[in-house]
Structure 1
């Protein structure tokens, strides 16, 4: 009977995994198809004379990108300290940079796998990286949706997602961020994952608000990076900055909400291109989104190598 139950459970898991892959492939095909369709429809109207490649903007974007990565590392380390106080701040800060390489690999889970492996080597509980990543994801989705909503208020455009849905999403995620609900979920997940008794996580209102504010700053700084990368390809005025930051925010929010899809190559970048098309021609938006992905990936790899070298020097 037990064997039959296990067999049924395995079949259910295989079925759910198959459904996840089907949904993932369908979304990827839909987003990529819409991008190509938009390019074909707008190709004849492209004015190539306004396009450029200004390397100065790309180099300038490295400054706010380094700031954004640093703030991301700070928030990550603070979250880990709350989940498992035995982990040092600088160790978590370094792990954040090292694991960022995995963000740019297909599948969307490799940075999580890298974190789990690195924390396991450091003697941490196997739930540490998973729980901290879940908290980080919750903060990123809320901050991204809030930034996009703010951008709509400052410079109204046709929203990708109805405002009512955005407000409902912010409200629901806000409930999850309330300390009683937040602490209950975190402690439940830790107890289920770790399989051992641990000191309950107790995060106060001030701490959660601090994380939220920091993540709002991170999203906006990312918007500045995107604005500079966009200016390297297509001229944008400073009035477009809130909307560009909102475009980055909504792509982060959608990317976070689709974390459960194993195949999601191009979904976040496709959403980014569509959101940017409100501020520039569609063809320029696609080029900027592609340039953004390549440029940021190179920058994150470089900073990961720097973190690895610093860690090696400290160990010596």
Structure 2
């Protein structure tokens, strides 16, 4: 049985890397087309920002674990988070959560806790991201033309209210989470978070988006100068694109969906260089994927330190 488990782990890792590298190779031609004027310093800074955002994302999940009464050293949180993280590139949306439960069990974290906290972490990531996008629409930082902008502003109001309500009362999403758990034949989850802790988690995940968004802005500057005033709209667009990609059940890791949404929305942002949205979306995906691979590799290094 032990040898079978080892073989299955090797096969699973192999499948994950197949999908990852297939995506990288498919997009690399676009990366090469960016030309001789590509600013590698800005690209390197973008990579560092993305790495910082991933590191904080793992820390945020550690805070969720802490909220459920589990004090887990960051070293272990990092290992669990980034070993499981690549599971999102497998078809289906459950492998990252299943992987998290599997690796967390090695650290003595019960399956119910690891699954619940993983779901809550992803929920806060999506909630904070879409809230940022809705707030940007409402404030006029993002617009899609006069008529559409007016309609989108009004529609953003109830959406933002609902999102913020769920953010401070995550137990409202418990029936949906339990329905998902029933589908994958896992135990039901119980969500009990004080409002103060819920607000803390919402803002921590929001900070993650601002760091990821800074990486997107820096990477755009690797191609051509982009005004700093576009930083917040770009961050909001990135957050919405990642959230939509996460919710797209047919797209492992949001592949294709995220890039399409980023390119579509960036093209509508006044002042954003017209020829670049697609190149920025694809190039930033490559940067993020490389960062994820490096973080995954670091889990093996940290494990033996």
CA deviation vs aligned residue, 1:219-249 (integer Å, no higher than 9, x gap) = 1111100011111123211111111111112
Question: Among 163, 166, 182, which residue is 1:176 paired with?
Answer: 166
Change over 3 Å in CA distance of 1:190–1:101 after alignment to 2: closer
Gaps in structure 1 of 5+ consecutive residues: 1-47
Secondary structure at the residue paired with 1:157? coil
Secondary structure at the residue paired with 1:162? helix
Question: Among 277, 284, 290, which residue is 1:298 paired with?
Answer: 290
Q: Residue 64 of structure 1: CA displacement?
A: 1.9
Please name the residue that 1:155 is paired with: 141
Q: Residue 86 of structure 1: CA displacement?
A: 6.7
Please name the residue that 1:55 is paired with: 40
Secondary structure at the residue paired with 2:237? helix
- Rounded to whole Å, the distance in 1 between the matches of 2:275 and 2:246 is 25
Q: Is the 8 A contact 1:144 1:246 kept in 2?
A: yes
Question: Among 103, 107, 120, which residue is 1:118 paired with?
Answer: 103
Change over 3 Å in CA distance of 1:266–1:84 after alignment to 2: farther
Q: Is the 8 A contact 1:51 1:234 kept in 2?
A: no
Question: Among 204, 207, 215, which residue is 1:214 paired with?
Answer: 204
Q: Is the 8 A contact 2:128 2:205 kept in 1?
A: yes
Secondary structure at the residue paired with 2:70? coil
Q: Is the 8 A contact 2:244 2:258 kept in 1?
A: yes
Secondary structure at the residue paired with 1:203? coil
- Rounded to whole Å, the distance in 2 between the matches of 1:287 and 1:190 is 36
Q: Residue 61 of structure 1: CA displacement?
A: 1.2
Q: Is the 8 A contact 1:78 1:89 kept in 2?
A: no
Residue 237 in 1 paired to residue 234 in 2? no
CA deviation vs aligned residue, 1:11-58 (integer Å, no higher than 9, x gap) = xxxxxxxxxxxxxxxxxxxxxxxxxxxxxxxxxxxxx99993111111
Alignment of 1:23-172 (within 5 A): 52-83=37-68, 85=70, 87-152=72-137, 153=139, 155-158=141-144, 162-172=152-162
- Rounded to whole Å, the distance in 2 between the matches of 1:107 and 1:52 is 39
Q: Residue 210 of structure 1: CA displacement?
A: 0.7
- Rounded to whole Å, the distance in 2 between the matches of 1:273 and 1:116 is 34
Structure with greater Cα Rg = 1
Please name the residue that 2:20 is paired with: none
- Rounded to whole Å, the distance in 1 between the matches of 2:36 and 2:281 is 14
Secondary structure at the residue paired with 2:304? helix
TM-score normalised by structure 1 residue count: 0.71
Q: Is the 8 A contact 2:65 2:71 kept in 1?
A: no
Secondary structure at the residue paired with 2:278? helix
- Rounded to whole Å, the distance in 2 between the matches of 1:49 and 1:213 is 35
Question: Among 273, 276, 301, which residue is 2:266 paired with?
Answer: 276
Q: Which moved more, 1:300-309 or 1:116-125?
A: 116-125
Q: Is the 8 A contact 2:79 2:299 kept in 1?
A: yes
TM-score normalised by structure 2 residue count: 0.73
Change over 3 Å in CA distance of 1:247–1:51 after alignment to 2: farther
Root-mean-square deviation (Å): 3.4
